[in-house]
Structure 1
Amino acid sequence: MIRHAKKTRLIDIAHRLGVSKATVAAVLSAGGSGTVRFSEEIAEKIRRTAREMDYQPNISAKTLAGRASKVIGILIDSHAAIPRFRILEGIEHEATLRGYRCMIGEAHDSLENLRRNYDIFMQHGVDGVVCLSHDYPGMEEEFKRLFSDTLDKVVFIDAPNHPDASYINIDRAASTYQAVRHLHEQGARKIAFVRGQSLWKTTLQHEAGYRRAMEELGYPERELHIITTRKDFIQQREVSEESISRFIEHDVIPEKIDGIIGMNDLVSLAFIKALEAAGKSCPRDVMLVGYDNEKFSRYTAPALTTVDENYELQSKMIVDLLLEKINHPEKEMKGCFATVVPQLIIRESTEKMKQRRFFNENEA
């Protein structure tokens, strides 16, 4: 017969050390109670003994007693873009600074499964939830059906499809607008924007920023260069070199495009390599702006001008918003509570050249 190890209780720790159960509970309840006094020496003995005896707090009992679990849940798509996981990392860091731990629930392209993860969070008594993945094209009504009753516990990054949701906003349209204006100031006159096929809100926001900047610069619709990628353009976070080469052969060279805003830093890096293979170079022939400010972007040749969404600030703002909701449940909190404006990081890939080769009439 299998014997299961007996679970360590507060009273077991108290008996071993010869102190009261109330003292043990005060020390192990994340900071203690103002009514129970103990020395730091006793507190350290209790914490050490709890580790030795493998004590695990009963979160369900804590929540039933009306106390905070000091745990927050995070919902994220398991195939989300890398920057989402950078935000997740930042949230975990910010939560830890405030005495919270994180529980993560992943699903892919399924609001139903994300909702199931939310229900599991609630069964484990989490105090609140951050949702990083909810913008699924064509699933707007499903989102309302599945998440309308969760909004008192959940905060979002980017506006979800519900008027009562609490969220922080990322002004991606402004970032692409900045990129277009910068390329134009540096001398680019035929500026292309590379976008995916999807109808993700983030993609549409970037395109809106591109269109607004080009319109302000006096470009008619027919002179916009919006390059929509094929479905196989990015697979498993790898860029199709064949697709990039095709863009250069059929769009960049014939149209004499001299400025490109890539979908992200990886795509822009692939463009640099493909331009070299086609006998062109960056920034002499084509200037490039990436997105995400990946760590490698400063070490490329040339170093890549890019956009930084300030993931650290996003993480701090979203944790601040969630804790405000947790600590003040009586407040009516809905709508946008903060906006983060991404920053253009200027490097060598948009360096102004004395002579732009695509405007050399001998090559026209």
Structure 2
Amino acid sequence: MGRTKDERRAPGMHDVARRAGVSHQTVSRVVNEMPNVRPATRARVLQAIADLGYRPNSAARALVTRRSGTIGVVTSGSMLWGPSSALLGVERAAREAGYFVSLASLGSDPAQVGSTLAHFHEQAVEGVIVIAPEASLQHVADPLLTEVPVVMIGAPPAPDSAVRTTSVDQEMGGRRATRYLIGLGHKQIHHVSGPLEWFDASLRVAGWRAELAAAGLPDGTLLVGDWTARSGYAAGVRIRELIHGRSPQAPTAVFAANDLMALGVIHALAEAGLSVPRDVSVVGFDDIPGADYFTPGLTTVRQDFEELGRRCIEILLEALRGEPSIVAPIAPQLIERASAASPRD
């Protein structure tokens, strides 16, 4: 025999009330963790909820408590190591803080912005986090600022904006990589950057240039890549041409703005019979899994995405409590391996 209509539907608040022998309003107060419910009554309602397998309606609960337990996260949809690792760090930290994440990936379609913000509004998200590696996403959540706090990862802080920001100190990372190579004795240090419209890429370029200037060294050559190993390989071909042509601009060291481009550089040099680090030292950025198994193991700059996620959620919770946030950027760490050494005499 088939089940009746009442047996097929999910249990509701009235079913819980009937089972516990209380009013609908009492069940609502228990579900929404409101005071003025006797412990024995609360226990009876909770037991009825467990017996029936009742699941509260999160949208209705949000209307009562003004808490949905949900944070909206906007990303560009990039699968690159930095943005995807930042997303994972935020999701883990949000879960530890008792929040769920509602994810919106915008890609390159600006028409999606309106529908995304409307969706967040319908979900009654308590705050929005924007992982903004590119300038095009910097102001994407501005329309929600009057309703919920917004925290942005990656974008530089704007003094006149209510958006709170946090990031890994990318310029410091660029400086540390360059300073390390200078300390080994290198004077011609080229840089393979990411796309310059990315905040991380432009800040790493700034760090490289600032450290060269601080050491009294001339600017090296800037070769712009696109984060891929293929673009690193193309830069490596240009570098090996300078070396084989005995150009005065030929580098003894290369700082690549991510590990994949460093891998491409190393491959191009090896094809031409050049050895790393004997002929050219190479330093990367990110410390992706497997960077220590490159040939040779890659010296690189590590970003702490777990800490970035925790800081981001802390800032959002402070905003929800109406507290100020004063957060310094997270310092990256230089990881020394075998791909960099002193230049040959």
Structure 1 length as normaliser, TM-score? 0.79
Q: Which residue of 1 aligns with 2:230?
A: 239
Name the SS of the counterpart of 1:182 in structure 2: helix
What amino acid does structure 2 have at the position aligned with 1:227? L
Alpha-carbon spacing, 1:252–1:74, altered in 2? closer, same or farther (3 Å): farther
* Aligned 8 A contact 1:173 1:205 in 2: yes
Alpha-carbon spacing, 1:128–1:13, altered in 2? closer, same or farther (3 Å): same
Out of 274, 286, 294, the residue aligned to residue 288 of structure 2 is 294
> Within 5 Å, which residues of 2 pair with 1:168-187?
168-187=166-185
Q: CA offset at residue 150 of structure 1?
A: 2.1
What amino acid does structure 1 have at the position aligned with 2:207? G
* Aligned 8 A contact 1:194 1:227 in 2: yes
What per-residue deviation string (whole Å, max 9, x for no partner) do you get for residues 108-142 of structure 1? 134442343122111111111111127335x87xx
Out of 332, 335, 345, the residue aligned to residue 342 of structure 1 is 332
Looking at structure 2, the residues matched to 61 and 292 of structure 1 have their Cα atoms a distance apart, in angstroms, of 43
Name the SS of the counterpart of 2:128 in structure 1: strand
Gaps (5+ residues) in structure 2? none
What per-residue deviation string (whole Å, max 9, x for no partner) do you get for residues 1-20 of structure 1? xx895343123244446677
Q: Which residue of 1 aligns with 2:186?
A: 188
Q: Which residue of 2 aligns with 1:122?
A: 121
Which deviates more, 257-266 or 125-134? 125-134
Name the SS of the counterpart of 1:292 in structure 2: coil
Across the two proteins, how many residue pairs are aligned to each other?
Answer: 333
Looking at structure 1, the residues matched to 176 and 144 of structure 2 have their Cα atoms a distance apart, in angstroms, of 38
Gaps (5+ residues) in structure 1? 360-364
Alpha-carbon spacing, 1:110–1:160, altered in 2? closer, same or farther (3 Å): farther
Alpha-carbon spacing, 1:190–1:7, altered in 2? closer, same or farther (3 Å): same
What amino acid does structure 2 have at the position aligned with 1:150? L
Q: Which residue of 2 aligns with 1:362?
A: none
Q: Which residue of 2 aligns with 1:156?
A: 152
Alpha-carbon spacing, 1:285–1:21, altered in 2? closer, same or farther (3 Å): farther
Looking at structure 1, the residues matched to 174 and 229 of structure 2 have their Cα atoms a distance apart, in angstroms, of 23
Looking at structure 2, the residues matched to 122 and 8 of structure 1 have their Cα atoms a distance apart, in angstroms, of 27
Q: Which residue of 2 aligns with 1:67?
A: 66
Looking at structure 2, the residues matched to 57 and 267 of structure 1 have their Cα atoms a distance apart, in angstroms, of 49
Looking at structure 1, the residues matched to 327 and 232 of structure 2 have their Cα atoms a distance apart, in angstroms, of 41
- Identity, % of aligned positions: 25
Q: Which residue of 2 aligns with 1:206?
A: 204
Q: Does 1:9 align with 2:9?
A: no
Structure 2 length as normaliser, TM-score? 0.83
Looking at structure 2, the residues matched to 43 and 252 of structure 1 have their Cα atoms a distance apart, in angstroms, of 78
Looking at structure 2, the residues matched to 43 and 186 of structure 1 have their Cα atoms a distance apart, in angstroms, of 70
Name the SS of the counterpart of 1:338 in structure 2: coil
Alpha-carbon spacing, 1:177–1:241, altered in 2? closer, same or farther (3 Å): closer
What amino acid does structure 2 have at the position aligned with 1:208? A
Q: CA offset at residue 314 of structure 1?
A: 0.9
Q: CA offset at residue 304 of structure 1?
A: 1.1
> Within 5 Å, which residues of 2 pair with 1:14-93?
14-16=17-19, 25=28, 28-29=31-32, 32-36=33-37, 37=39, 45=47, 48-49=50-51, 53=53, 55-79=54-78, 81-93=80-92
Name the SS of the counterpart of 1:313 in structure 2: helix
Q: CA offset at residue 296 of structure 1?
A: 1.2
Alpha-carbon spacing, 1:28–1:301, altered in 2? closer, same or farther (3 Å): farther
Which deviates more, 88-97 or 252-261? 252-261
What amino acid does structure 2 have at the position aligned with 1:249? R
What amino acid does structure 1 have at the position aligned with 2:237? R
* Aligned 8 A contact 2:239 2:250 in 1: no
Q: CA offset at residue 167 of structure 1?
A: 1.1
* Aligned 8 A contact 2:76 2:108 in 1: yes
Q: CA offset at residue 217 of structure 1?
A: 1.2
Q: Which residue of 2 aligns with 1:225?
A: 221
Looking at structure 1, the residues matched to 24 and 11 of structure 2 have their Cα atoms a distance apart, in angstroms, of 13
